[in-house]
Structure 1
Amino acid sequence: MSVDKFLTEKNINVRAMKSKMADIWRPARGINIKEIKTGLFLFQFYHKDDMQWVVKGGPWSFDGAILVFNTVGNGEDPTKVLLNEVEFWIQIYDLPVGYMSESIGKQLGNFFGTFVQYDSSNNKSIWREFMRIRIKVDVRRPLKRKKKICKKDKSDVIVHCKYEKLGDLCFVCGLLTHTERFCSKRSTAESESVNKEWGSWLRAPPRRAGGSSRSKWLREEDDGDWGNKIDGGTNNEKFSGFQKSDLVQRRDNSNQESAFFSFDGADTNNSEMAKLAMQASQSK
């Protein structure tokens, strides 16, 4: 069982929230959600694996509001359980070459929050754009955005942080507990223009893009046995719907077909090139 609250100044539609969270999580044994007082909920799972899946898959949000939760022990008063921390996967960009190790990740994790886990599976790419680590964030403090690193050659570099599954936050003070509209710092500012040091750029892009299915001709970096995957694991003449003779014929015609493509980005007159290729073909 866990006690939960949403970080928001808005009123939560409790009925909609219950259905939405249950539909997202789909616990095998079901879930019971009860509001014990305004804005504070008890989430009762009927199997420990269901609860662990939710804990590891967070953060979660409803209507943009981040969900903060903590476990409740036997005989413990749920209204007195601290709800001050939430875990995020973060992506750290602009790291120098040689600074992608787990030891560096622990140091950075303990700067941006409290280090929890290093994503070693993010190391498989031939080129890593960012380091990925999981941290615990204190929601009473502003989100950290960047850090200056001093390299061995005494030069400095600034690395930037993005948060996965980041919900609403205040662009004025950087807190997760409210949006700019409800920020007291903004309401007490003397000038109309308030400096916003946080923004939507703190949200990390989705790690898996949606859309149509991947082309079977597109290789990933770890597709070591790609040839067998394409021809179905057999050595016969059939090659994914084409005959090998078709591939040979295509290579023979590659010189003529290449006249229709520009690989250097130059502006070419395709219609004129098509006419020339047609005339050359008819003259044979």
Structure 2
Amino acid sequence: MEDAMANLKLLDDEEEVIHEVAGEESFIFQFCLVGRYLTDSVVYFPSLRNTMADLWHPIGGICITEAGEKRYLFQFFNVIDFDRVKIGTPWFFNNHLLILQTIPEGVNPSTIDLKFTEFWLQVHDLPPGSMNESMAKQFGNFCGEYLEHRNTMESR
């Protein structure tokens, strides 16, 4: 029997070759965010799904699925909904912070490090004229990583 197995060959017409189509990209996670809640307590998934869908009320709809241990996949079907939720961070559910990240192409959502999120800082009672871009960068870098500065006095 070993001799028969050693001489086993596939005929040319039996071989199947998988060809990748050139220029065709994978958009499986095109409008998707992966997230987790910053809590050790149990999150009741059906309640989470209904609450976030009602809160965001997406135009094109949303599909929220569990993506592993305390991870959730938020799939949007419209770029406007995706951008609005991404820009609107931070989001909360039952007073727990939702950390959201986009999924880079070719990356498994379960391997994304969900430790950081963006926050706006509002600083009060500074001396007049002392809040400028340089001071904003110093405050931002002291607390984490500086992203943007918006002076409400300048916009008035």
| Counterpart Cα distance in 2 of 1:106 and 1:52 | 25
Matches within 5 A, 1:175-254: none
Instruction: After superposition, give the CA deviation of every residue in 1:223-252 in whole Å (9 maximum; x if it has no partner).
Output: xxxxxxxxxxxxxxxxxxxxxxxxxxxxxx
Q: Which residue of 2 aligns with 1:116?
A: 147
Question: Percent identity over the alignment?
Answer: 36
SS of structure 2 residue aligned to 1:20: helix
Instruction: After superposition, give the CA deviation of every residue in 1:63-87 in whole Å (9 maximum; x if it has no partner).
Output: 0110001111333211101111111
Tell me whether 1:81 sits opposite 2:112 in the alignment.
yes
Q: Which residue of 1 aligns with 2:86?
A: 55
Tell me whether 1:65 sits opposite 2:96 in the alignment.
yes
SS of structure 2 residue aligned to 1:116: coil
The normalised TM-score by structure 2 is 0.74
**CA-CA distance at 1:94 after TM superposition:** 2.9
| Counterpart Cα distance in 1 of 2:131 and 2:117 | 24
Instruction: After superposition, give the CA deviation of every residue in 1:156-195 in whole Å (9 maximum; x if it has no partner).
Output: xxxxxxxxxxxxxxxxxxxxxxxxxxxxxxxxxxxxxxxx
| Counterpart Cα distance in 2 of 1:61 and 1:40 | 15
RMSD (Å), alpha carbons:
1.6
Q: Which residue of 2 aligns with 1:3?
A: 34
Paired letter, 1:52: D
| Counterpart Cα distance in 1 of 2:83 and 2:61 | 14
Structure number with the bigger relative contact order (C-alpha 8 A, sep ≥ 6) is 2
The normalised TM-score by structure 1 is 0.42
| Counterpart Cα distance in 2 of 1:109 and 1:33 | 33
Tell me whether 1:28 sits opposite 2:59 in the alignment.
yes
Paired letter, 2:70: G
Q: Which residue of 1 aligns with 2:29?
A: none
| Counterpart Cα distance in 1 of 2:134 and 2:78 | 35
Q: Which residue of 1 aligns with 2:127?
A: 96
- Give unpaired runs (5+ residues) of structure 1: 126-221, 223-284
Q: Which residue of 1 aligns with 2:72?
A: 41
| Counterpart Cα distance in 2 of 1:98 and 1:73 | 41
SS of structure 2 residue aligned to 1:43: strand
**CA-CA distance at 1:124 after TM superposition:** 5.0
**CA-CA distance at 1:3 after TM superposition:** 0.9
| Counterpart Cα distance in 2 of 1:45 and 1:62 | 19
SS of structure 2 residue aligned to 1:99: coil
| Counterpart Cα distance in 1 of 2:139 and 2:118 | 15
Kindly report structure 1 stretches of 4+ aligned residues shifted beyond 3 Å: none
Q: Which residue of 2 aligns with 1:147?
A: none
Tell me whether 1:18 sits opposite 2:49 in the alignment.
yes
Higher strand share: 1
Paired letter, 1:45: F
Paired letter, 1:49: I
**CA-CA distance at 1:41 after TM superposition:** 0.7
SS of structure 2 residue aligned to 1:86: coil
| Counterpart Cα distance in 1 of 2:137 and 2:58 | 32
Length, aligned pairs only: 125
Instruction: After superposition, give the CA deviation of every residue in 1:21-64 in whole Å (9 maximum; x if it has no partner).
Output: 11111111011000021311111111222111111111000001
| Counterpart Cα distance in 1 of 2:67 and 2:86 | 21
Q: Which residue of 2 aligns with 1:156?
A: none
Instruction: After superposition, give the CA deviation of every residue in 1:118-158 in whole Å (9 maximum; x if it has no partner).
Output: 123x1158xxxxxxxxxxxxxxxxxxxxxxxxxxxxxxxxx
